[in-house]
Amino acid sequence: MKLVIPHPGHFLALKEICGEATKEAYEVYMAGTPEVLGSGRITLHAPLLDEIEQQTQYLHDKKLEMGIVMNPSCMGGQHLTSQGYNMFKWYFGKLNDMGVDSVTVAEPYLIELLAKEFPDMKVVVSTISHVDSPERARFFKELGADAITLDTNINRDFEIMEAIKDVVDCELRLLVNEACLYKCPFRYSHFNLFSHMTGVGNKPNIFSDYYYEKCMSFRVRYPELVIKSPWIRPEDLGAYEALGIDCFKMSGRANTIRWIIDVMKAYSNRSYDGNLMDLLDCPSELRDMFYIPNKELEGAIKQWMNCKKFCHKCGFCKATAERIIRVYEFKDMQRKTLPLREVQTKCAIS
Ligand SMILES: [Zn+2]
């Protein structure tokens, strides 16, 4: 198993993460310099070039690899202007000179640019490129990808993953703990919003993060959506290794260092006895609301491996949610949990 670990970006955080790195840790990744290119997610610390160099050296001393993630889903066409092209090429050249091991991008043009100009750096296709079929995987391989992070929507679709494995020989990565909705209708729009908020140029002065709020309210209203989200439990990694996929990427570079370390340990141990929500990269409001005993999800993978994903006919995730999800409640200065069904009845009455 190879684990790819998120890093918020400042050197102190990196030292702490490396101090407790497990033997499964393989690559540490962080966002690149936003003056050059934004990213698909909120970035806490914007590392400058000297910081990247210093941290790459530090990781290499620890026998770990450095990955830089520059995966906006929209660049507003900048990369196809000569000014933009020159800037990207200059920046990637700097990363290459510093010994950065991999660069993760979502934009096909940049994949080709990296593969042609900087063959020493590994080109990783971002999950934001939505590789969800053998055909799409082949296109990206053709552009020069050395590794592909699969679309999380197929994390529980073993037939498709196997077919992708059959047609491309590059490394496949799975994002294990991202808690986005399965077939999320907001995913493209939300990534585009982040791209413009973290990138160069005029940042939109938004009055609300509509997608975030909608996503939250959907899950509060229909808690089975939390079960349907295509996360992978630490206990189930073996099912993916049996397919020949052994590189697992953790999401969560905007979380605390302690959280990152704890999640790294849970996946390295292939076991977590506690609230599944603790492992998921999701809004803390949800983590404070639901208690999902991870151990009670034992065996669910067998259903998902063969599931046709016609939820209206299947109902497994909904039944599982009703059976195991508990909701936190504060009463008499104590934090308790109530079964989901009890809370739903209560809400229906009041
Ligand atoms: Zn755009």
pLDDT at 203: 84
d(Cα 77, Cα 193) in Å, to the nearest integer? Answer: 15
Contacting residues for 69 by C-beta, under 8 A, at least 6 apart: 29, 30, 31, 32, 39, 103, 104, 126, 253
Interval between CA 127 and ligand 1 midpoint (Å): 18
Interval between CA 35 and ligand 1 midpoint (Å): 16
Interval between CA 74 and ligand 1 midpoint (Å): 5
pLDDT at 44: 52
pLDDT at 43: 54
Interval between CA 302 and ligand 1 midpoint (Å): 40
d(Cα 225, Cα 219) in Å, to the nearest integer? Answer: 6
Interval between CA 193 and ligand 1 midpoint (Å): 7
State the burial class of residue 12 (Cβ atoms within 10 Å of its Cβ: 0-12, 13-18, 19+).
Answer: exposed
pLDDT at 109: 96
Interval between CA 226 and ligand 1 midpoint (Å): 29
> 28-61 pLDDT, tens per residue?
999 987 766 655 555 556 678 889 999 999 999 9
Interval between CA 307 and ligand 1 midpoint (Å): 35
Interval between CA 164 and ligand 1 midpoint (Å): 29
Interval between CA 29 and ligand 1 midpoint (Å): 24
State the burial class of residue 213 (Cβ atoms within 10 Å of its Cβ: 0-12, 13-18, 19+).
Answer: exposed
Interval between CA 71 and ligand 1 midpoint (Å): 13
Interval between CA 75 and ligand 1 midpoint (Å): 6
Interval between CA 76 and ligand 1 midpoint (Å): 5
Which stretches of the chain score pLDDT less than 70? Answer: 35-46, 200, 347-350
Interval between CA 116 and ligand 1 midpoint (Å): 26
For the chain, the straight-line distance linking the first and the last C-alpha, in angstroms and rounded, comes to: 49
pLDDT at 37: 63
Interval between CA 176 and ligand 1 midpoint (Å): 27
pLDDT at 169: 96
Interval between CA 260 and ligand 1 midpoint (Å): 30
Interval between CA 183 and ligand 1 midpoint (Å): 21
Strand order, beta sheet including 334-339: 290-291, 326-331, 334-339
- Is-contact 160 174, C-beta < 8 A? no
Interval between CA 10 and ligand 1 midpoint (Å): 28
pLDDT at 161: 98
Interval between CA 77 and ligand 1 midpoint (Å): 8
Contacting residues for 273 by C-beta, under 8 A, at least 6 apart: 294, 295
